[in-house]
Homo-oligomer: A and B are copies of this chain.
Amino acid sequence: MSGSVFGKNFTVSTWGESHGEALGAVVDGCPAGLPLREEDIQPYLDRRKPGQSRFTTRRSESDTVRILSGVFEGKTTGTPISLILFNEDQRSKDYSEIASVYRPGHADYTFDRKYGFRDYRGGGRSSGRETAGRVAAGAVAARLLKEFGITVTAYTKAIGPVAIRRTDLSECMKNDLCMPDAEAAKEAAAYLQQLMEEGNSSGGIVECVIRGVPAGLGDPVFDKLSSQLAKAVCSIGAVKGFEIGDGFHSALSTGVENNDAFRMKDGGIVKVTNHSGGILGGISDGSDIILRAAIKPTPSVSAPQATVTADGRDTEIRIRGRHDPVIVPRAVVVVECMAALALADALISNMGARLDRMIDFYRDLH
């Protein structure tokens, strides 16, 4: 149990259900002295907010974050940072069907099997709304990383069969799908429009690039930077696959192709290529960290589906109401935030790696 805490030295606990009074996160282990205001966090939440385009659910939430602790005179104090968002749009609705029938592709059945019952209102804890807490916490991690010149940037790489051909990040904000390729975005929009008319939905791929990471983060065996990122990203609801660097392509490759040659440049060591995706032996190598997440299609489709009732009878369900035909564009910021949380933790955890640096660190503190 107690699987709601992530991280070792920079940790986050999230809490809250889709239709509860509020949702939130507690960030613990954030260094003291970090300038932090609600305005640093809000833009991240706005990016995952519902009701922003024809491709997202109509639920209307301002998702306004409030910092309740851990910040004094505009700076973090080193104590836990409590972040809260109050739910607004919990319109009383008829949940009797969801309560008694298991929606295919959802966690209704597994929650009942694990806990004996569940908060069936809008998916409860398994709702996509749970990610709001991660995003609020991840924004704090990203704010910390910024102080070290580390940036985390994610975007939509593909929606169903429509993949980007170019990566112009300035395009991402210009289209509803967060795609860095205007043309691909148009094609993807048409594809989604078609699926919506059929009461169907689409999956897709999110790509994330982390720049400015110093070499040396991550530990050799179980806590590799790659395995921590894998856990972080695969803990997002709809993620079914994870890649670092060349990922599954490297399975098709050869050593001669796949190895990244080292070369001296401006007095430093650089890799000529980056098939490794910025991590060697589980430790950051100083080049960009590149990862991808495969997102499954929204399980809430209006087309009729065969399923069973909680009391064990075969039946058919038609999911009512308007749902996201694709989760990917809203998942982009969630992937970004989970990656930031893993990085912030690795950045702090690495400080005890070398005696000589520890001695320097403590020299003038006696």
Contacts and interface: CB of A to CB of B under 8 A. Distances in A.
A244 B243 contact: no
A359 B147 contact: yes
B353 A32 contact: yes
Contact of A358 (B28, B251, B351): B351
Interface in A346-360: 347-359
A42 interface: no
A82 interface: yes
A308 interface: yes
B255 A247 contact: no
Contact of A219 (B3, B23, B81, B279): B3
Pairs A-B, 5 closest by C-beta atoms: A107-B281, A3-B223, A3-B219, A2-B29, A348-B352
B222 A4 contact: yes
A69 B17 contact: yes
26 contacts: A2-B9, A2-B29, A3-B220, A4-B80, A5-B28, A13-B80, A15-B69, A17-B72, A20-B68, A24-B68, A79-B119, A104-B259, A110-B216, A110-B285, A113-B286, A114-B354, A130-B220, A195-B254, A227-B231, A248-B294, A250-B295, A255-B297, A255-B301, A258-B296, A258-B299, A267-B312
A280 B106 contact: yes
Contacts of A224: 3, 234-235
Nearest to A277: B240
Contacts of A232: 227
Contacts of A356: 33, 116
A276 B107 CA distance: 11
A291 B280 CA distance: 23
Contacts of A234: 224, 226-227, 229-231, 242, 244
A125 interface: yes
Interface stretch (A51-59, A172-180, A201-209): A201-209
Interface in A336-366: 347-359, 361-362, 365-366
Contact of A305 (B72, B115, B259, B297): B259
Interface in A264-309: 264, 267, 269, 272, 276-277, 279-286, 294-301, 303, 305-308
Contacts of A227: 230-232, 234-235
Interface string A166-210: 000000000000000000000000000001001011111100000
A160 B219 contact: no
A118 interface: yes
A151 to B, nearest CB: 13
Contacts of A216: 110, 113-114, 365
Nearest to A215: B113
Contact of A1 (B1, B23, B28, B362): B28
A66 B299 CA distance: 34
A314 B305 CA distance: 62
Given A109-B285, A262-B308, 9 more contacts: A76-B355, A105-B258, A202-B254, A222-B235, A223-B235, A255-B299, A258-B296, A258-B297, A269-B312
A245 B75 CA distance: 34
B222 A6 contact: yes
A32 B221 contact: no
A346 B253 CA distance: 34
